[in-house]
Amino acid sequence: MAEKLYIEALREGLREEMLRDEDVFIIGEDVGLYGGAFGVTKGLFQEFGENRIIDTPISEAAIAGAAVGAALCGMRPVAEIMFFDFFTIAMDQLVNQGAKNRYMFGGKAKVPMVIRGPMGCGTGAAAQHSQSFPAVFAHFPGLKVVMPATPYDVKGLIKSAIRDDNPVVFAEHKLLYWTKGEVPEEDYTVPIGKADVKRQGSDITLVAGSIMVPRSLEAAKKLEEEGIDVEVIDIRSLKPLDLQTVVSSVKKTGRIIIVEDDPISYGWGAEIAAGIAGSEAFDYLDAPIKRLAGLDIPIPYNPNLEKHAVPQVPDIIEGVKEVLR
């Protein structure tokens, strides 16, 4: 199996879907000739032309609104928002239109769209270009939310997202774009709403998402040297949430840390913690549920401070040791 970059796998997924279904098109800022701010759509303009790779003015509300409208009319748009931070501008179209239309039209209308973009800190992009808040969208009925962590998953999930008849928020951590992983040549999908055990272990369960998955795996590798056997679950989808995979794991390990890139308050880790506390796994908990997440602060511009704003590998190692103490 060939090793590919996350960004390549994502592009491959988009391209294959565009080849497979002529209703699929891409809309966003600089997605055309420039190939996207991070280069996700590089080459697609040349291949598919301006009718299927549409550059827009700088208006996320317009991008999202156009995507919702096109989807209602039978197209399958993939809208790119240049930075996840600006999902807030697209939010009204997404939350009040995209998420509601299918329900309000009694199932007669459907909104098969994907809205995707890069999130997260670590590039020195400061407070307005560094945020991770996919959990915000998981709050709204009618939206699906995924955040693939590996090249394999990003390709499989973008295909599932495009083929899904509901609006899907697709969160990509910008530090993941240049990570490598095996990606099969053949067509495949990864189901939305299914977590993935990325590493089997017996001592403690780490539930991570997006960039925190490779960080948790790295921490697990280091902890293995100290004889600590860590299980790492990639939650992959925030909505629908696959709690059962986490419950089964906690029943085995008795300990859990949820590792999030989002700010800690009201984050998806709290959702999982509450789910575990109310599940059959409760009786198997041998230590309090712990959360490692972003601090409740805007992401600082100072690179050292920026690093400390979200969990890093040493924080995860320390957290595991604390829970196992």
Partner 1 sequence: MRKIIAKEGETVKVGEPIAIIADAHEELPDLEIADDKSPEKQEESSQVIMQQEDRTEDEKETIPGKIKASPAAKRVARENQIDLSKVTPSGPNGRIVEKDVLAYIQENKVRATPVAKKIAMEKQIDLKSLQKSPVERITKADLEEQMMMQEEESTIPVIGMRKIIAESMTYSKKVAPHIYLSLEVDMSKVIDIREKLIPLVQDKYDVKLSYNHILIKAVATALRLNPLVNSSFTEEKIILKQNINIGLAVALEDGLIVPVIKDADKKGLGIIAKETAELILKAKNKKLLPDEYQGGTFTITNLGMFDIENFCAIINQPETAILAVGKIMKKPVVVDDEITIRPMMNLTLSCDHRAIDGAVGAKFLQNLKEILEEPMNLLL
Tell me the backbone φ, ψ of residue 287, rounded to 5 degrees.
-155, 155
Interacting stretch for partner 1, rule CB under 8 A, among 121-129, 227-235, 279-287, 298-306? 279-287
Question: Quick one: 78 or 257, whose CB is closer to partner 1?
Answer: 257
Question: Quick one: 31 or 243, whose CB is closer to partner 1?
Answer: 243
Q: Does 22 bind partner 1 (CB under 8 A)?
A: no
Task: In angstroms, give the least distance from the CB of 322 to partner 1.
Answer: 8
Judged on CB neighbours under 10 Å (0-12, 13-18, 19+), 3 is exposed
Provide the annotated active-site residues.
60, 129
Task: Find the binder of partner 1 among 127, 287, 295, 313 (CB under 8 A).
Answer: 287
Question: Quick one: 47 or 286, whose CB is closer to partner 1?
Answer: 286
Task: In angstroms, give the least distance from the CB of 243 to partner 1.
Answer: 17
Question: Quick one: 103 or 282, whose CB is closer to partner 1?
Answer: 282
Q: Does 284 bind partner 1 (CB under 8 A)?
A: yes
Q: Using alpha carbons, list the distances in angstroms from residue 62 to 38, 167, 223, 282.
A: 21, 16, 48, 46
Strands 180-183 and 2-5: antiparallel
Size of the site for partner 1 (CB under 8 A): 8
Question: What is the CA 218 to chain-centroid distance, rounded?
Answer: 19
Q: Does 69 bind partner 1 (CB under 8 A)?
A: no
Task: Find the binder of partner 1 among 58, 202, 286, 307 (CB under 8 A).
Answer: 286
80 contacts: CB under 8 Å, gap ≥ 6: 26, 27, 28, 29, 31, 36, 40, 41, 63, 116, 117
Q: Does 5 bind partner 1 (CB under 8 A)?
A: no
Half-sphere exposure of 234 (CA within 13 A, CB side): 22
Interacting stretch for partner 1, rule CB under 8 A, among 54-62, 63-71, 188-196, 278-286? 278-286
Task: In angstroms, give the least distance from the CB of 248 to partner 1.
Answer: 15
Task: In angstroms, give the least distance from the CB of 281 to partner 1.
Answer: 9
74 contacts: CB under 8 Å, gap ≥ 6: 23
Task: Find the binder of partner 1 among 254, 264, 270, 275 (CB under 8 A).
Answer: 254
Q: By the 8 A CB rule, do 63 and 31 touch? A: no
For residues 63 and 56, give the distance between their C-alpha atoms in angstroms, rounded to a whole number: 7
Half-sphere exposure of 80 (CA within 13 A, CB side): 28
Question: Quick one: 186 or 283, whose CB is closer to partner 1?
Answer: 283
For residues 232 and 192, give the distance between their C-alpha atoms in angstroms, rounded to a whole number: 19
Question: Quick one: 264 or 284, whose CB is closer to partner 1?
Answer: 284
Query: Whole-angstrom distance between the N-terminal and C-terminal Cα of the chain?
Result: 41
- Report helix, strand or coil for 181: strand
Q: Does 89 bind partner 1 (CB under 8 A)?
A: no
Q: Does 227 bind partner 1 (CB under 8 A)?
A: no
Interacting stretch for partner 1, rule CB under 8 A, among 20-28, 121-129, 233-241, 280-288? 280-288
Q: By the 8 A CB rule, do 105 and 165 touch? A: no
Task: In angstroms, give the least distance from the CB of 267 to partner 1.
Answer: 23
Q: Which residues bind partner 1 (CB under 8 A)?
A: 254, 282-287, 325
